[in-house]
Amino acid sequence: MASRTIAGKTVQVNEEGFMTNPSEWSKEIAMEIATEEGIAELNEAHWKVIDFCRQSAATSGSAPTLRTITTGAGVSTKELFALFPKGPAKKVARISGLGKPEGCV
């Protein structure tokens, strides 16, 4: 298991760069990862999705799928792709400090 420093905090990551311990996550880490993913600023809609994903993962033990996110967070697939372009389930999982969602390549 590797580690890296994000927003001044050393966190554990896997070989794909996903955080492996959600309790190490912070909003500052989320903002830095979002910037790395090409999202300049996280707005209220982003946080609504991120918060839902973290709550869902705390209950289920894994990052939610695209369908779970759209249903649970109340955003359309189109909105989700606008908020997190090019692979929204994977991007939001990374930004949320969660593992890679099942079914993502």
Active site residues: 104
Q: What is the 3-state secondary structure (H, E, C) of the chain?
A: CEEEEECCEEEEECCCCCECCHHHCCHHHHHHHHHHCCCCCCCHHHHHHHHHHHHHHHHHCCCCCHHHHHHHHCCCHHHHHHHCCCCHHHHHHHHCCCCCCCCCC
**Two structure tokens written together for 79:** 């909105």
